[in-house]
Amino acid sequence: MNDDAGSALGGVGWTMHPYSHINRAQLKAKLVAEGADSLRKLPELCEEIREMLQRSYPLHLLAVLAGYGLQSTVTAEGVSPVRIMSGIEQHHVELLQALTLTVSRDQWGQLPAKADEIQQMIDKLGELADAFYRSRFLALAKEADAEQRAVLLLQERLRGHTQFVRNWGYLGSVVEISRELYGALDSELNAAYGFGATEVIDLAQAMLVSTEQQASERFMILGRVTRCQTRTEMVHTYFRECVFVQGDSEEFLRRLPAAVGLEQLACMLMAHADLQLPRLATVDPDCIAHAVSIDLDVVVRVLERLSLTPGSLSSDDIPKFFMGNPVWGAPCVKDGSAYFFPMPQLVFSHVHSVMRSLLSDLKPSALEKLARTRAGYLEGKVSSLLRKAFPMARLNTGIMWSVGEDRYETDLLLIIDGTVLIVEAKSASLTAQGLRGAPDRVKRHVQELLVDPAVQSDRLAKIIREAGSGDVASQQILDQLGIDGKAIDLVIRLSVTLDDFSILASCEEELKGAGWVPSDLELAPTLNLADLGCVVDILEEPAFILHYLSNRGHVQRSTGLLGDELDYLGFYLKTVFGMPEVERSDAIFAIAGMSAAIDHYYNSHDAGVSVPKPPLQLPETLRRMILEVQRRAGRGWVTVCLALLDIAYNAADGLDEELMTLKLGVSANPHDPLQPRGLAILLPSYSDTLVAFYVFPKVLLASRGEAAGQFANDLMEATGKTRCIVVGRMIEEWHRPYQFTAMVSRA
């Protein structure tokens, strides 16, 4: 990696992938060896964990890991990004719950786990998850052609995504989408089970709220206990505040060894309080029924359907748990007559699995209705989002158009100024099982989910560009859509989904190598509905949203960035996609974690704490210019705004100083023809545009247009660019963002 890339990397907090520059043959040998070692360890680790579950009470272990490892503290500053217990993630606890269900009830350990046993379980779960992931490296040992490598890449990326990634959106949007989408199937589910999707979602939300409230109250009480400054005060506070404590505090103090210090005492009391965690994670059907105003028998039916019992899973199936964990569809443990539900959020993390599980037993007509509902819902929600984001735009849905005898449909078409946004809404489902089959099956998934919508949007984009170049036949096609091709400066393509297809879209180069995607076809950037909602909400301004969408595909294709959509959004907030050092580098950069500020904002909002929205980092001078151009909304305003955003990262340092230097020089020598009056900034190499700032005094106001035009033409001649965006600033009105803008094209 060159020094420029290294300094840029440090500036925004990425990490370069540690394997970026290792010789490929050496890397392959290293990974295959790791895979063989991990495959050998897998059954040993599984058996070690099952033995631990036979020594310690499994529900206590589950409750402790979920109660500490999946909880964060909430203050007036929002939700802390640091978990109360480190080293544990939701997928670890899911795996532990499934392993617990492979042990029959009579073999369960009866004693609560000690602190060292809890830490040992955390370590073993981490080793197990890592061993499964690394065991897949063995597939690299097989010789494969381009098509086989493409299948392998998709399957392995999907395995990693399925194993580790849990949230397809933030809680608020996930609950909203789930309720609106699956509520349409309430009648079918009610007829079959005596409850609908709405009841499942309402109950899960109520259980989640109850879990979080209990955890919050518990931590506040224990906080008051552990902050005490003397042993006596700590014990008295514990006995007084914790209603479950029985006995006499004075008797406890008399029996307490003198050698036990304040810190050790706090640990003892915390461990005692943790004995209550399994009870807190056990659902009281009466309380939940009252909380959501649902009949008790309906609550019980839902819990029964979402439950598995001890011993109901086979240890022979453990290897399948990593990619198809049964607790995803049934996240409750029924222990006798009790319903143990340590992670109510599982219902939302895996709501598509939960609902597919419910619908799979119904008539085919129910699944057909689901498919129709998903399609209509997705198109309607995308339309609503875009209308909110671009209230001044023309938006059409379900547009039919034809080329000769062939008829085509575009899901959504948005026209704003000289920009066209073509959106294909893809509501099909993607499952892990769907990508585990033979190459032909995998190829069919890719064709339906990625290639077909990309071909459709690319077809219309090409027609618009050809019409803009004067092609009469293309313009006749656009006449059906009410579009003047010569008035269009930019076409943006976008695919929006309900399920997360980003794992497929990120493999464009490999798919082309396998011949599954035409080499001359650029796949449109693919966002799921929840992520698109975040992009619109975080960026807010139409110019910012359009700039993000217009550059999103290029950034993914031309840089080695590894991260999810919100990591890309976090990266955009810091760089405005303006880091040529990364594009020039052949290194792979891990940007996972760049969504931290976005995560903090939404997680805090879901917790009821208002925190500032993470801003797009722009030089204030450029921000004022862009927002003023957008406010005036003159012809070509979108093109001007996008060009200014293209220079934002590289212009961040020194733009104001350089403009001020020009201002002082022009003020001192307003009529000197040799006095520099302008500043030019080149856009990225793939752009045919440059930006020029032109400074003039009021006495030359009348001739500013001619002078700025000549300046722009000289710059285009020198740089080879075909378009120049000129921003004029008048010295006497320097407080204004700008005096005029002009878009000059080379003849």
pLDDT of residue 138: 76
Is 125 inside any structural domain?
yes
> What is the predicted pLDDT for the residue at 667?
94
Residue 120, pLDDT > 70, answer yes
Lowest mean per-residue pLDDT among 37-51, 307-321, 451-465, 489-503? 489-503
- According to the model, what pLDDT value does residue 135 have? 83
Residue 367 located in a structural domain: no
* 633, pLDDT greater than 80: yes
Same domain, 26 and 89: yes
In a domain, 343, yes or no: yes
Q: The tokens of 158 are what?
A: 């999907």
How many whole angstroms separate alpha carbon 689 and alpha carbon 745? 9
- Contact in structure between 142 and 37 (CB atoms under 8 Å): no
Count of CA atoms in the C-beta half-sphere (13 A) of 608: 7
Buried b / exposed e across 355-383, counting CB within 10 Å, b at 16+?
A: bebbbeebeeebeebbeebbbebbbebbb
Question: What pLDDT, on the 0 to 100 scale, is given for residue 221?
Answer: 94
Residue at a domain's end among 144, 164, 184: 164
DSSP 107-130: GS--BPPPHHHHHHHHHHHHHHHH
pLDDT at 162 over 50: yes
Cα distance between residue 740 and residue 189, in whole Å: 61
What's the confidence (pLDDT) of residue 731?
96
How many domains is the chain built from? 3
CA distance 495 to 388: 18
Could you tell me which of 272, 276, 267, 265 has the C-alpha nearest to residue 217?
276
Query: Are 172 and 606 contacting, i.e. CB atoms less than 8 angstroms apart?
Result: yes
Count Cα neighbours of 256 within 13 Å in the Cβ-side half-sphere: 19
Considering the domain architecture, whether residues 340 and 196 belong to the same structural domain is answered as yes
The helix (run of H) or strand (run of E) holding residue 527 is strand 526-528
Q: How far is CA 501 from CA 447, 525, 560, in A?
A: 13, 10, 18
Domain boundary among 95, 130, 164: 164
- 142 pLDDT above the threshold of 60: yes
Q: Tell me the Ramachandran region of residue 194: left when phi exceeds 0, alpha when psi lies from -120 to 50, beta otherwise.
A: left
Q: Supply the pLDDT for residue 443.
A: 78
Residues 112 and 239 in one domain: no
* SS3 state at 689: strand
Contacts of 48 (CB under 8 A, 6+ apart): 124
Instruction: Kindly provide the residue ranges of all beta strands, DSSP E only, lying in 200-284, ordered along the sequence.
Output: 282-283
Query: Can you give the pLDDT at residue 584?
Result: 53
Beta strands in 225-341 (DSSP E): 282-283, 307-308, 332-335, 338-340
Distance CA 554, CA 102 (A): 47
How would residue 10 be classed by pLDDT, with cut points 50, 70 and 90?
Answer: very low
Position with higher pLDDT, 74 vs 236: 236
Q: How many CB atoms lie within 10 A of CB 176?
A: 15
| Residue 290 and residue 145 share a domain | no
**Lowest pLDDT segment from 1-5, 399-403, 706-710, 730-734:** 1-5
- Evaluate if residue 11 carries a pLDDT over 60: no
Residue in 626, 662, 656 with CA at minimum distance from that of residue 644: 626
pLDDT for position 500 = 78
Q: What are the angstrom distances between the C-alpha of 269 and each of 64, 65, 236?
A: 15, 18, 11
What pLDDT score was predicted for residue 616? 96
Sign of the four-CA dihedral 392, 393, 398, 399:
positive
Whether residue 462 is predicted with pLDDT greater than 60 in this model: the reply is yes
pLDDT at residue 14 is higher than 60: no
Does residue 199 or residue 607 have the better pLDDT? 199
The answer to the question of residue 63 being in a domain is yes
For the segment 511-550, what is each residue's pLDDT rounded down to a tens digit? 888 788 898 999 999 999 999 999 999 999 999 999 999 9
Sign of CA dihedral 633, 636, 642, 646: negative
Q: What is the arithmetic mean of pLDDT over 455-475?
A: 96
pTM for this model (two decimals): 0.89
Q: Is residue 48 part of a domain?
A: yes
Indicate left, alpha or beta for 86 from its phi (over 0: left) and psi (-120 to 50: alpha): beta
Last residue of a domain, one of 164, 190, 207: 164
Report which of residues 93 and 13 the model is more confident about: 93
| Position 202 in a domain | yes
- Based on the fold, state whether residues 200 and 254 are members of the same structural domain: yes
Residue 254 within any structural domain of the chain: yes
Domain shared by 259 and 140, yes or no: no
Q: Which two tokens stand for residue 375?
A: 């399609």
Whether residues 250 and 302 fall in one domain: yes
Is 608 domain-assigned? no
pLDDT in tens, 189-239: 999 999 999 999 999 999 999 999 999 899 999 999 999 999 999 999 999
pLDDT of 20 strictly over 90: no
User: CA separation (Å) from 202 to 288, 322, 555?
Assistant: 10, 28, 40
Which of 166-175, 214-223, 287-296, 730-739 shows the lowest mean pLDDT across its residues? 166-175
Question: Same domain, yes or no, for 342 and 235?
Answer: yes
Do both 740 and 712 map to the same domain? Answer: yes
Sheet holding 740-745, edge to edge: 678-682, 689-696, 723-730, 740-745
Q: In this predicted model, what pLDDT tens digit does every residue of 325-347 receive, in sequence order? A: 999 999 999 999 999 999 999 99
> Strands across the sheet with 589-590, in order?
15-16, 589-590, 561-562
Torsion of Cα atoms, 124 then 126 then 131 then 136, to 10°:
150
Asked whether residue 284 falls in the same domain as residue 135, the answer is no
Same domain, 632 and 714: yes
158 in Cβ contact with 149 (< 8 Å): no
pLDDT above 50 (res 3): no
Average pLDDT value over all residues in the chain: 89
Q: How confident is the model at residue 1 (pLDDT cuts 50, 70, 90)?
A: very low
Q: How confident is the model at residue 449 (pLDDT cuts 50, 70, 90)?
A: confident
Domain around 204: 174-314+328-359
Q: Which tokens sit at 299? A: 């609550």
Q: Angle at the Cα of 554 (from 624 to 724), degrees rounded to 5?
A: 50
Q: What pLDDT shows up at residue 592?
A: 76
- Is pLDDT at 301 greater than 80 in this prediction? yes
Report the distance separating Cα 237 and Cα 546, nearest Å: 57
List, in sequence order, every residue forming a beta bridge with 561; answer none if it has no partner: 589
At 322 the pLDDT is 84
Question: Do 139 and 32 belong together in one domain?
Answer: yes
Mean pLDDT lowest among 13-27, 48-62, 333-347? 13-27
Does pLDDT of 474 surpass 70? yes
Percentage of the chain exceeding pLDDT 70: 90
What secondary structure letter does DSSP report for 737? S
